[in-house]
Copies of this chain bind each other. A is one copy, B any other.
Amino acid sequence: MTDDSERQVGELAARYMPETRARIEAAVARTGGLAPLLRYHLGWRTADGAPANGGGKALRPVLCLAACEMAGGDWRDALPAAASLELVHNFSLAHDDIQDGDETRRGRATLWRLHGVPTALTAGNAMLAAADRAMLDSPERGPKASAALAAAAELTAKRLEMIEGQYMDMAFEADERVSVAAYLDMIGRKTGALIESAMRMGALAAGADRETAIAFGRCGRRLGVAFQVRDDYLGVWGDPAATGKAVGADIRRKKKSLPAVYLFDNALPSDRAWLEETYRAGEIAGDRLEGVMALLDRLGASAYVRRVAEEQAEEAVAAVGALAIPDDAKRLLRAVARYFATRDR
């Protein structure tokens, strides 16, 4: 990346996250004996309960609060939604780790690896209950109650779409022929829906009209897809020093991310038998790995995946192009979109 878009996104996070984190902690503290497990999963504590400096990129709260400001609101009005979004996201990660059998996340043991599946499953459910409490426990009355109810319904609908995306993802892993279009639809649900909800709720918290909220939501959904497609790129061609993953990591574990989907969609009949055999065996390594990487190269997969991320980012920016929001806001959104589509880690 050659510009300062990463710095701009980092500045947003630095401004919003202390108060967001306090909101999240207030919800987590209500989960009783499960709270230490939630704090561990969030990256705030070590397994022994000591302070830790982990945690993810917090994209969902940041985009929610930024959308609120861009739409002319006070970002603090969107704090219940922002806290709730981060907890919903972490609920899905805790359960994803169980479903995928992943033993580490961000370099630490996953919850199920530390405490077993039954306890990790319950901790994920507690995370979601904390999310819902963060959203619902504000004592709204009168007209604000209608808005709070609408926001909670909106978030629930998008959570359901995310769950459908997870279900499709599992089905795709077992299916050799998934089209690029079906794959993009799936990640639109699995990753895009919650980020759509983030920007839409942010706009609604600013008192934006329905059309503005929908445009922000559309922008968020495309940003989510751009982010995931760039993730897919980095999982195969990322710099190990930046990503912490080996070259070709997602090929090795036969993950059906966009590079593999593109490969199966575009492989010549003469390569197909070898390719299918390779994906039917155990881990892909050694000569087999080199063979798949060479095939991706011949088909121009790397440039294709990069381009898809950039197209999605452009669509995200275009979605809010016609809105009467300040030029500063549009510039910031362009920086966010650029970061999502071109980040190195």
Interface residue SS majority, chain A: helix
**24 residue pairs from A and B, CB less than 8 Å apart:** A30-B160, A33-B168, A34-B167, A98-B117, A98-B118, A99-B118, A100-B118, A117-B117, A119-B167, A126-B160, A126-B164, A126-B167, A129-B163, A130-B160, A132-B132, A132-B152, A132-B156, A132-B159, A133-B153, A133-B160, A136-B149, A136-B153, A136-B156, A149-B152
* Docked pose: A234 CA to B143 CA in angstroms: 51
Given A129-B159, A149-B152: 19 more A-B contacts, CB < 8 Å: A32-B164, A32-B167, A95-B121, A98-B121, A99-B121, A99-B122, A119-B167, A122-B163, A122-B167, A126-B164, A129-B156, A129-B160, A129-B163, A130-B160, A132-B152, A136-B149, A142-B146, A149-B149, A152-B152
Judge if A15 is at the interface, Cβ distance under 8 Å. no
Taking CB atoms, residues of chain B closer than 8 Å to A164 are 31-34, 126
CB distance from A24 to the nearest CB of B (A): 15
Taking CB atoms, residues of chain B closer than 8 Å to A119 are 167, 170
CB distance from A37 to the nearest CB of B (A): 9
* Docked pose: A168 CA to B95 CA in angstroms: 20
Q: Which of A31, A117, A140, A164 gathers most chain B CB within 10 Å?
A: A164
* Docked pose: A30 CA to B158 CA in angstroms: 12
The interface of chain A, by Cβ under 8 A from chain B, is: 30-34, 95, 98-100, 117-119, 121-122, 125-126, 128-130, 132-133, 136-137, 140-143, 145-146, 148-149, 152-153, 156-157, 159-160, 163-164, 166-168, 170-171
Which 8 pairs between the two chains have the least Cβ-Cβ distance? A99-B118, A129-B160, A136-B153, A145-B145, A145-B146, A132-B156, A32-B164, A145-B149
Q: Which of A31, A33, A95, A167 gathers most chain B CB within 10 Å?
A: A167
Q: Which of A95, A122, A149 gathers most chain B CB within 10 Å?
A: A149
Cross-chain contact B133 with A156 (CB below 8 angstroms): yes
Q: Which of A34, A142, A156, A168 gathers most chain B CB within 10 Å?
A: A156
Taking CB atoms, residues of chain B closer than 8 Å to A95 are 121-122, 125
Taking CB atoms, residues of chain B closer than 8 Å to A149 are 136, 140, 145, 148-149, 152
* Docked pose: A168 CA to B160 CA in angstroms: 28
Taking CB atoms, residues of chain B closer than 8 Å to A137 are 153
Cross-chain contact B125 with A31 (CB below 8 angstroms): no
Cross-chain contact A146 with B141 (CB below 8 angstroms): yes
Cross-chain contact A121 with B121 (CB below 8 angstroms): yes
Q: Which residue of the partner chain, among B128, B145, B170, contacts A128 with CB atoms under 8 Å?
A: B128
Taking CB atoms, residues of chain B closer than 8 Å to A118 are 98-100, 170
Query: In the complex, what residue of chain B is closest to A171 when comparing beta carbons?
Result: B33
* Docked pose: A110 CA to B156 CA in angstroms: 26
Taking CB atoms, residues of chain B closer than 8 Å to A141 are 146
Taking CB atoms, residues of chain B closer than 8 Å to A34 are 163-164, 167
Q: Which residue of the partner chain, among B31, B121, B163, B168, contacts A126 with CB atoms under 8 Å?
A: B163
* Docked pose: A132 CA to B128 CA in angstroms: 12
Query: In the complex, what residue of chain B is closest to A127 when comparing beta carbons?
Result: B163
Taking CB atoms, residues of chain B closer than 8 Å to A166 are 122
* Docked pose: A37 CA to B302 CA in angstroms: 38
Q: Which residue of the partner chain, among B130, B133, B140, contacts A146 with CB atoms under 8 Å?
A: B140
